[in-house]
Structure 1
Amino acid sequence: AIAAMLPRYGVTAFCPTTVACSADALKTVLDEVRALRAAPQHGCARVLPAHLESNFINQDFKGAQPLECLRMPPAKRTLDIGRWTTDDDVLQTIQAALPDVGIMTVAPELANGMDLVRALTAAGIIVSLGHSGADYETSLAAIAAGARQATHLFNRMTPMTSRDPGMVGAVLSSDDVCAEIICDGRHVHPAVMRVAMAAKSPARIMAITDGTAGSGLPRGSTATLGGRRITVEDVARLDDGTMAGSVLTMDRAFACLVGQAGAGLVDGARMCSTSPARELGLQGHGVLGAGAVADLAVLDANLNVRQTWIGGEPVFDGLSLRP
């Protein structure tokens, strides 16, 4: 259903993203990802390997992640990639589905966290730093260990101050890391987006939605996230008021970058398309040119999506999804 609806927002491919969950729930998701990738559905956005906002994050920076699902990484001796002997059922599930796991969020300051960064990197999974209390030095060490990405920069990580750069400072000052930003103008102020663009350049920033099941629903609607109710407001919120992801769609993320953060059309498109495609190693995606994959979105002067094409075929036209 998600893949079928996303083309109306100009999306041609996406990484299904999980919250921390049980091994059984994770297996169900990854089995579905595998099936959809093996048999793409006509008219649907391409399903890419999943992003796991994993169990291995800091409980003090968990946000809306379920506390009961968080855990410490296992000891180093159990993490020889290709020969995992760990009894950690979540890692066993991931190991069994490696081709369908693209990104994994990790808090490197956890006990054995740095070993997990190295192990996942060796397995070909992009390690993304986030939901973390790591200081500047620990963040740099994680980057040196192989971390290549930052999960929703500025949100649920140590901030940057004049005397303590924190994880934010490590990400902004490192050319080796590509940073996600939730571009709804709520999670990150547009002025702060401009600072990030100046520090890293649009080539190293990926616009994301952090969208939940509430994305695209009317204000006041309810949905679920990790088995808990969320209410659609300007963002998604749990019943206790905790911000729980966004209700953003990618067309509005692009409009926010251009209209509020001051990015030009080219840089906005780069952050919504080219940068993510390059970070994920998707050859021929996110560019227009001879031999490139013919996935594209057509917007009008008001930045509303008028058409979406996937594989050279129109899959969305105006307000009607083509069969």
Structure 2
Amino acid sequence: MKRIWLTGGTILTGYMKMDACSLMIEGERIGDVVTDRRFAAKSIGDDDVVVPLHGAYVSPGFIDSHIHGFGGFGVDDCSVESILGMSRALVSHGVTGFCPTVYTGERRTMESSLAACADAMGREEGARILGIHMEGPFISPKRVGAQSADGVAAVDLALMERLWHVAGKKIVTMTVAPELKGMRELALWCMKREITLQAGHTDADYEQMLEGMQAGILHSTHFFNAMSRLHHRNPGAVGTIMIHPEISCEIIADGHHVHPGLIKLLLRDKPVSKVVLVTDALALAGTGKSEGRANGMKISDIDGVFRLEDGTIAGSSLTMLKGIANLTEWGVPLEHAVQMAGSNPARIFGFSRRGLLIPSYQADIAVFDHNFRPLMTFIGGELAFKADEIT
């Protein structure tokens, strides 16, 4: 079996940082991680490939669990070709797995988007589709954000069953408002099908958030955004998530969705293992274009973030690697930022044997330099992207 040695790098395993180390890829899996000194003493086979990294970072491939589009391709295009286009575009930014995220919108559009995502799975040429994130439709009409108000629905198990089957039973996570009538029944239905529930687009008060947690709603969507605010007489969704270490949360680290100071506050109180970096990127992200449409609405890039015509934030132009760079600039240790981008989502969503650089795990790997430029991406041990400067 061919082996690939990535040597002379800084290995970010997903839980620690290891300087001057080498990683061996054996088939689809990680075969070994050793110090460069141990590597120098090893017997290298004639068929082995040795790739010197000159100090570059080697991390688990990034998993973006909340993304609507990238590189000119959007989930709301409702086409398999667009989902596969996202896959090809994302791999050049170190992303090895993603959850295409379906907007709350007109029912026919939602169903077409879900079907396209399901049909694209297994046909990817780049980042792998690990499952579908359905953002709604069981959300609060008071906290719609860039979702379509016309698509917001009361909890309806028959509708959920239909969407589940249209999606080929590939929904792995769903954003919901815990305060909605019938949410407990929906939560139990989802738990039986291993669908992770995220509190988001919610106007829940403290007690309603606790009831949601009791029903298994233990993750949250773009923390601080589109949720009930912290108040000294009602902690709301924001306060509940801050108070209770059991509930994990997404963050969009672009400096627009959430002030860097609040991210510092969050990480002071919330275990790093409970924070997941996402992009919430739109189709325009990565294209350099400043105007377009998302979920049927006109959007514009204003100072680095996409907004609707009324000024509401619609989504980001972020990449996972840029999010990691931002977090480190704000004082977050690099190994923690990488953990938020890989091992945390893998664990929270149950993506087996992904997200860590340890022997026997899937060889999904991102290599990037000290300026956070992507150099190489491996998926299942195969080189899926290589920057032009790498020979």
- TM-score, scaled to structure 2: 0.74
- From 338, 341, 350, the equivalent of 1:272 is 341
Aligned equivalent of 1:3: 87
Counterparts of residues 1-323 of structure 1 (less than 5 Å): 1-37=85-121, 39-42=122-125, 44-74=126-156, 79=157, 86=158, 88=159, 91-97=161-167, 99-218=169-288, 221-233=290-302, 234-260=304-330, 262-319=331-388
- The C-alpha deviation readout for 1:175-227, integer Å capped at 9, x for no partner, is 33221011111111111111111211211100000111121232x52222111
Q: Which amino acid aligns with 1:120?
A: C
Contact 1:108–1:117 (Cα < 8 Å) also in 2: no
Contact 1:12–1:46 (Cα < 8 Å) also in 2: yes
Do the aligned partners of residues 320 and 135 (structure 1) sit closer, same or farther apart at CA in structure 2, a change above 3 Å counting?
farther
- The C-alpha deviation readout for 1:262-310, integer Å capped at 9, x for no partner, is 1111101000111011111112211001111111111111111111111
Do the aligned partners of residues 51 and 320 (structure 1) sit closer, same or farther apart at CA in structure 2, a change above 3 Å counting?
farther
Contact 1:214–1:231 (Cα < 8 Å) also in 2: no
Structure 1 stretches of 5 or more lacking a match? 80-85
- The C-alpha deviation readout for 1:34-62, integer Å capped at 9, x for no partner, is 2222x3333x1001111111111111110
Task: Please report how far the alpha carbon of residue 317 of structure 1 lies from its aligned counterpart in structure 2 after TM superposition.
Answer: 1.2
Secondary structure of residue in 1 paired with 2:169: helix
Contact 2:363–2:379 (Cα < 8 Å) also in 1: yes
Contact 2:245–2:271 (Cα < 8 Å) also in 1: no
Q: Which amino acid aligns with 2:228?
A: T
Higher relative contact order (CA 8 A, sep 6+): 2
- The C-alpha deviation readout for 1:153-175, integer Å capped at 9, x for no partner, is 11011122333211112112223
Say how many residue pairs are matched: 305
- The CA RMSD measured in Å over matched residues stands at 1.8
- What is the rounded CA distance, in whole Å, between the counterparts of 1:12 and 1:223 in structure 2? 27
- The C-alpha deviation readout for 1:2-42, integer Å capped at 9, x for no partner, is 011001111010000011023322222222222222x3333
Secondary structure of residue in 1 paired with 2:109: helix
Which range is displaced more, 108-117 or 246-255? Answer: 108-117
- What is the rounded CA distance, in whole Å, between the counterparts of 1:320 and 1:111 in structure 2? 56
Structure 2 stretches of 5 or more lacking a match? 1-84
Do the aligned partners of residues 35 and 319 (structure 1) sit closer, same or farther apart at CA in structure 2, a change above 3 Å counting?
farther
Task: Please report how far the alpha carbon of residue 314 of structure 1 lies from its aligned counterpart in structure 2 after TM superposition.
Answer: 1.6
Which range is displaced more, 106-115 or 251-260? Answer: 106-115
After the TM superposition, which segments of 4 or more aligned residues of structure 1 sit over 3 Å from their partners? Answer: 95-98
Task: Please report how far the alpha carbon of residue 245 of structure 1 lies from its aligned counterpart in structure 2 after TM superposition.
Answer: 1.0
Structure having the larger proportion of residues in helix: 1
Task: Please report how far the alpha carbon of residue 138 of structure 1 lies from its aligned counterpart in structure 2 after TM superposition.
Answer: 0.5
Do the aligned partners of residues 22 and 320 (structure 1) sit closer, same or farther apart at CA in structure 2, a change above 3 Å counting?
farther
Secondary structure of residue in 2 paired with 1:116: helix
- TM-score, scaled to structure 1: 0.89
- What is the rounded CA distance, in whole Å, between the counterparts of 2:161 and 2:257 in structure 1? 30
Structure having the larger proportion of residues in strand: 2
Which structure's CA Rg is the greater one? 2
Secondary structure of residue in 1 paired with 2:321: helix
Secondary structure of residue in 2 paired with 1:52: strand
Contact 1:117–1:127 (Cα < 8 Å) also in 2: yes
Q: Which amino acid aligns with 2:152?
A: L
Aligned equivalent of 2:68: none
- What is the rounded CA distance, in whole Å, between the counterparts of 2:131 and 2:317 in structure 1? 22
